[in-house]
Structure 1
Amino acid sequence: MVASDSFIEFLREQLAPLGRITVRRMFGKTGVFCDGVMLGMVRDDTLYLRVDDGNRAAVKEAEAFPPLNYEKKGGTIDLAFWRAPERLFDDPDELVAWARSALDAARRVALKRERTTPKLTSKPRKTRPVRR
């Protein structure tokens, strides 16, 4: 389920030190973006933060909870988003630190995707005439 309006407003206020926080509904969840980069997702008013090899040790505590996942073809697919511990919501500075770590991970992922995505050319495609 997507995030409630009150939870989204809370996240915007808490994460404001990072930059411009926006949200977008996607795949039955809510994506949390900072300056256009997705650092987290929300499902059922639970925040999941982006994790990669660069911040895995810093957020190791979150490993105790199941990652964000979805069902596909009878199996479960785990995503690279780990549940933020509830205690972070009582400590705004630490929540921002964890979110900053997730933002750094999200930027690394975005950079890696840019490097591996083939560039599209602007040349028009030649089409063959249709025979009738």
Structure 2
Amino acid sequence: MASDIDYMSYIAEQVKEAGQITYRKMFGEYALYCDRKVVALVCDNQLFVKPTNAGRQFIGEPQEHPAYKGAKPSFLIEDRIDDKEWLTELIYLTAKELPLPKPKKKKTQEL
């Protein structure tokens, strides 16, 4: 089951104060970015936050599940989706700990 845009928009609105929030649709699901870093996935209308030490300390005892078959476990956030301040802080802490994406190499054209 693919995630719907209304759910993704709601999540993005909830965490908009964590940093520069964007999202991108991928294979019917969504990647959530904060300050150009992928911080979470939305799959089957569920929020899966990338695991970090800061996130684990903030949550306490996170519920961990893979976002899709074959994925590494992420923090599954279910009961605090509507808690804007809590969710914003989690996304902020997660983004702060993750590295920036590596720059993409420019393709050279052979003649």
TM-score (normalised: structure 2): 0.74
Q: CA deviation at 1:83?
A: 0.7
Once residues 104 and 69 of structure 1 are traced to their aligned partners in structure 2, the CA distance between those partners, rounded to angstroms, is 25
Q: Which has the higher helix share?
A: 1
- 8 Å CA contact 1:50–1:103 kept in 2: the answer is no
Q: CA separation of 1:60/1:67 partners in 2, compared to 1, >3 Å: closer, same or farther?
A: farther
Equivalents in 1 of 2:12, 2:28: separation in Å?
A: 20
Cα distance, 1:40 vs. partner?
A: 0.5
**Structure 2 matches for 1:12-91, cutoff 5 A?**
12-63=12-63, 65-70=64-69, 77-86=70-79, 88-91=80-83
Identity %: 20
Q: Residue 58 of structure 2 aligns to a residue in which SS?
A: coil
Distance 2:62 2:87 in 1: 12
Q: CA deviation at 1:85?
A: 3.1
> In structure 2, the residue corresponding to 1:104 is in which secondary structure?
helix
Q: Secondary structure at the match of 2:81?
A: helix
Q: Which residue of 2 aligns with 1:73?
A: none
CA–CA separation in structure 2 for the residues paired with 1:120 and 1:31: 22
CA separation of 1:101 and 1:85: change in aligned 2, threshold 3 A:
farther
**Larger relative contact order (Cα-Cα within 8 Å, sequence gap ≥ 6):** 2
The RMSD of aligned alpha carbons is 2.9
- Per the alignment, in what secondary structure is the counterpart of residue 55 of structure 2? coil
> Structure 1: any 5+ residue segments left out of the alignment?
71-76, 128-132
Which structure's CA Rg is the greater one? 1
The runs of 4+ residues in structure 1 deviating greater than 3 Å are 119-125
* Aligned equivalent of 2:8: 8
**Counterpart in 2 of 1:74?**
none
Q: What amino acid sits opposite 1:46 in the alignment?
A: Q
Q: Which residue of 1 aligns with 2:93?
A: 101
